[in-house]
Amino acid sequence: MKTKLLIFALLVSILAQAQITKAEAFITGTKLSFYPNQCGNTIPEAAGKLAFCDRANNLGLVDRSYGLNDRRVNSMLPNYFNEDEFYVTGKGLSIRNTDGAWENIPNIAVPLYGEVNICPPYVQGWCCQMAKSLSKPQMQVICLMSTTEI
């Protein structure tokens, strides 16, 4: 009888195993979504959003930005291209657009230096991977941030 119950419990646990398709995380000022084993794949949810991959082969998206991504602003970066404001915080980069909307680039979305090499000719360093998601002024500010001490 105990064996039958054990086998029954094992079968139920195998059949009831859930498939995780999306995980959401909220960090200060930012909503992140992770899609397991989707790194390198194109999914419709990623259209127009900052996408990145973590070391566990998960695709991460910055779904929404609500404001500064940290309570402490380390510095502001100069912006010679438009009126957007760029704030360097302890948790990443926060961009306040002229219309009042925010775009956050958390540290988790920034690849480690030297991991990828898909840079345009005018860009150096780890900011290269972000070229697909950001406008040229934003990418150049991030590249400037990568060469300065934060």
Beta-ladder partners of 35: 59
In this prediction the pTM is 0.63
- pLDDT tens for 42-60 read 888 888 888 888 878 888 8
Looking at per-residue pLDDT, the higher value among 3 and 16 belongs to 3
Q: Is the pLDDT of residue 141 over 70?
A: no
pLDDT value of residue 127? 46
Q: Tell me the two tokens of residue 103.
A: 């775009």
pLDDT value of residue 17? 59
**What span, in angstroms and rounded, lies between the C-alpha atoms of 117 and 88?**
24
Looking at per-residue pLDDT, the higher value among 148 and 104 belongs to 104
| Closest to 107 in 3D by CA, of 83, 79, 127 | 127
Looking at per-residue pLDDT, the higher value among 90 and 126 belongs to 90
**What span, in angstroms and rounded, lies between the C-alpha atoms of 146 and 126?**
7
Contact call for residues 29 and 94 (beta carbons, < 8 A): yes
Looking at per-residue pLDDT, the higher value among 117 and 99 belongs to 99
pLDDT value of residue 129? 45
pLDDT value of residue 131? 46
